[in-house]
């Protein structure tokens, strides 16, 4: 997981405008861990649901949670 974070670092630092990234859960968990300080040991601080979007604000390469588990299904 920390290797994923290391590979993500240049991408996150390079974000200069709103960006949509479609990716698998491992990448989302790595960004979630960076945003929360979770060391990826034990239970995560939030449950990340499948079939949902997760919104992060990234400043200077550091993600911050805006909103998690945004439903993607039509209401």
Q: In this predicted structure, what is the pLDDT of residue 74?
A: 72
CB 64 within 8 A of CB 56: yes
Q: In this predicted structure, what is the pLDDT of residue 73?
A: 82
DSSP 13-29: HH--S-------HHHHH
d(C-alpha 72, C-alpha 7), whole Å:
27
Task: Tell me the residue range of the domain where 36 lies.
Answer: 2-71
Which tens digits make up the pLDDT trace of 24-65?
999 999 999 999 999 999 999 999 999 999 999 999 999 999
- Total domains present in the chain: 1
Q: In this predicted structure, what is the pLDDT of residue 75?
A: 64
CB 19 within 8 A of CB 13: no
d(C-alpha 7, C-alpha 71), whole Å:
28
- Phi, psi for residue 35 in degrees, rounded to 5: -70, -30
Q: In this predicted structure, what is the pLDDT of residue 63?
A: 98
Taking the whole predicted model, whether its pTM rises above 0.85 is answered as yes
């Amino acid at each position: 997981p920390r290797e994923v974070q290391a590979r993500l670092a240049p991408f996150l630092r390079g974000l200069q405008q709103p960006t949509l990234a479609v990716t698998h859960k491992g990448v989302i968990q790595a960004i979630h861990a960076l945003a929360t300080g979770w060391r990826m040991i034990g239970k995560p601080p939030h449950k990340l649901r499948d079939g949902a979007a997760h919104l992060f604000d990234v400043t200077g390469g550091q993600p911050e949670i805006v909103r998690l588990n945004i439903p993607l299904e039509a209401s």
